[in-house]
């Protein structure tokens, strides 16, 4: 039997930028951002393939919410499901930013999960 490569999910690494330096992370930190129009074109090319889900990682993807919003709108138009947004959970500076960003992502159609990736060090005093 011949094996075929049939991926089911696209995980976009939205940006290399991150506000933390976690020891478990091997993402090369850069200020680069994935181009939204190129990502949308790529997503369109996945129509009628084995791809059924879209997810987001980084760097810290929530530092580039415009990307998540635009790609989420496209994914909804293509009848794709959502996987998750992998976040460190420490990307926001104030409640106003947190609320506005999450509302914008929700309004774009994203209804997936949020995965939290971080290491917490406890003081053994």
> Which DSSP string corresponds to 76-92?
HHTT-EEEEEEE-S---
Q: What is the pLDDT of residue 26?
A: 82
pLDDT at 114 over 60: yes
Tell me the average pLDDT of the chain: 92
Q: Is the pLDDT reported for residue 125 higher than 60?
A: no
CA distance 67 to 81: 17
12-51 pLDDT tens trace: 999 999 998 887 888 888 999 999 999 999 999 998 999 9
What pLDDT score was predicted for residue 36? 98
d(CA 91, CA 62): 7
CA distance 82 to 10: 10
Neighbours of 26 (CB within 10 A): 6
Angle at CA of residue 18, ends 28 and 87, nearest 5°? 110
User: Helix, strand, or coil here: 47?
Assistant: coil
| Number of residues assigned to the chain | 125
pLDDT at 123: 59
* The pLDDT of residue 67: 98
Q: What are 61-74's pLDDT values in tens digits?
A: 999 999 999 999 99
Q: pLDDT at residue 89 above 70?
A: yes
Question: Are 66 and 56 spatial neighbours (Cβ–Cβ below 8 Å)?
Answer: no
């Amino acid at each position: 039997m011949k094996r075929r490569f049939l991926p089911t999910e696209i995980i976009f690494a939205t940006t290399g930028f991150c506000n933390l330096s976690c020891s478990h992370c091997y993402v090369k930190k850069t200020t680069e951002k994935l181009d939204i129009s190129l990502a949308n074109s790529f997503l369109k090319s996945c129509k009628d393939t084995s791809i059924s889900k879209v997810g987001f990682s980084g760097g810290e993807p929530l530092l580039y919410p415009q990307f998540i919003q635009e790609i989420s709108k496209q994914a909804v138009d293509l009848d794709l499901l959502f996987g998750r947004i992998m976040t460190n959970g420490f990307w926001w500076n104030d409640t106003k930013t947190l609320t506005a960003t999450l509302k914008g992502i929700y309004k774009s159609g994203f209804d997936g999960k949020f995965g939290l990736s971080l290491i917490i060090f406890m003081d053994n005093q």
